[in-house]
Structures are given as C-alpha cells and as structure tokens.
Amino acid sequence: EQGGVSTGVVLAVGPTCFVDYHGQPADLQIGTKVIFARYGGKDVPNPENEEENLKLLQDEDILGVIKDD
C-alpha cells in the first residue's frame, strides 16, 4: 500500500547497519534516496533547524533505494 511508505534522504549510516544482513548494501550511502515504512523509526529534533524533525530508522524500516537515471 502506497499510503504506508514515505521517502527521504540518508544523512548518516551507523556502524551496525545491516549486520544481520551480512553488511551494508553498496548502494546505501549518505545522500541516497530511500523508501521507508511511514510509521517506522523515531522522530528526533533536528539540532540545526528547530522547526524540522529527522527520522531515526532501523535498517529493517528501509524498504528500498530510489535510483536516479
């Protein structure tokens, strides 16, 4: 269902990302556009912009990568 997903841009990747999946996919890097479960993760305040929240996601919340052609 499209209503259950959102898109965003990766700002950071932690050292334990995708450990259960034998390592981080090569195409998931800072700046990568991703599709994630809309209600997954946790909203945290953006320290650089008080009017904006960032989404802190678990690796299993990332559903796909959007590739620009």
Mean pLDDT by 10 residues, the chain (69 residues): 80 76 68 89 92 89 84
Rounded to two decimals, the pTM is 0.74
At residue 2, the pLDDT reads 54
At residue 4, the pLDDT reads 86
**DSSP characters over 1-49:** -GGGEEEEE-----TTTTGGGTS--TT--TT-EEEEETT-SEEEEETTE
At residue 22, the pLDDT reads 61
At residue 61, the pLDDT reads 85
